[in-house]
């Protein structure tokens, strides 16, 4: 097994290659579909039908956006966390979906990327619903690890044989330090997830927005020391800023 790291539209893409099949470790963004297919055909010299499974670690635009389109074009199966309702369900879910698309567009602009279509369905059609400890279907050397906190259903995937774990957005790197991502919906679950990944003692920890990193005790402690203890979400940040503006306006009266 060989893991290929591909620079995507706003995140890193990891493609696990086997002699007879390919596994995409996350669902990428809608803007990455063509690039992923070209990489399979032109760089690996393989038919796109060799892509057999697509893991979706969580429902954000740069992790789920390409999944449905890639499934339609290649026949690959979508693998994601079992849950009783869609992440973007209800009226709040519609608004959050639009907000996350806006944030993805904002990130692309910050990175100097050209405008691309990022739209994707807010409800994922999963072929294989998995839970903590399950093997990834058709790729039994990979194990599903529940790592919620960023959302309520984040998963990581761990390959014990190669001592490699892909953690998606469990952590990001800012100014050469690993820190918690934005948003963090469930701070207590997040802290347990960080400990869980650390205790794997994996030699290679793959991040969606960085690449492989060294995740030692110093890095773990820095994340836990700086991670939020209350939910930090789109709505909470907006509410805090709105309250600040209103207080400022009131004080000037």
Q: Could you identify the residue written with the tokens 């030699």?
A: 203
Mean per-residue pLDDT for 169-176? 95
Structural domains in the chain, sorted by start: 2-226 (3.60.15.10)
Q: Which residue has the higher pLDDT, 244 or 234?
A: 234
Location of structure tokens 């790729």: 139
Hey, CA dihedral for 176, 182, 186, 187, is it positive or negative? Answer: positive
Question: What is the number of alpha carbons within 13 Å of residue 221 lying toward its C-beta?
Answer: 3
Predicted confidence (pLDDT) per residue in 153-166, tens digit = 999 999 999 999 99
Encode pLDDT of 34-51 as tens digits. Answer: 999 999 999 999 999 999
Give the pLDDT score at 234.
74
Q: Which of 145, 233, 136 is nearest to 186 (CA)?
A: 233
DSSP string of 184-213, one letter each residue: BS-HHHHHHHHHHHHTTT-SEEE-TTS-EE
> From CA 150, how far away is CA 171, in angstroms rounded?
9
For residue 55, what pLDDT is reported? 98
pTM of the model: 0.93
pLDDT of res. 242? 47
């Amino acid at each position: 097994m060989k893991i290929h790291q591909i620079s995507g539209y706003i995140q890193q893409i990891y493609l696990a290659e086997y002699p007879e099949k390919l596994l995409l470790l996350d669902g990428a963004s809608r803007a990455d579909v063509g690039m992923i297919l070209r990489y399979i055909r032109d760089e690996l010299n393989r038919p796109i039908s060799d892509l057999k499974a697509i893991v979706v670690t969580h429902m954000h635009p740069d992790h789920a956006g390409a999944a449905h389109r890639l499934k339609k074009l290649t026949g690959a199966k979508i693998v994601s966390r079992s849950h009783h309702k869609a992440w973007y369900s209800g009226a709040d879910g519609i608004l959050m979906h639009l907000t996350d698309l806006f944030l993805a567009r904002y990130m692309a602009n910050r990175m100097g990327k050209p405008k691309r279509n990022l739209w994707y369905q807010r409800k994922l059609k999963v072929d294989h619903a998995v839970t903590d400890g399950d093997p990834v279907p058709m790729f039994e050397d990979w194990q599903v690890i529940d790592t919620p906190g960023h959302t309520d259903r984040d998963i990581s995937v761990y390959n014990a044989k190669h001592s490699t774990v892909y953690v998606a957005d469990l952590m990001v790197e800012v100014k050469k330090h690993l820190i918690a991502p934005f948003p963090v919906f469930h701070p207590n679950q997040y802290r347990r997830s960080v400990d869980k990944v650390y205790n794997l003692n994996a030699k290679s920890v793959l991040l969606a927005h960085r690449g492989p990193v060294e995740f030692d005790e110093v890095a773990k402690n820095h994340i836990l020391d700086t991670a939020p203890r209350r939910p930090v979400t789109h709505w909470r940040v907006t509410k805090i800023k709105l309250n600040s503006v209103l207080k400022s306006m009131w004080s000037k009266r």
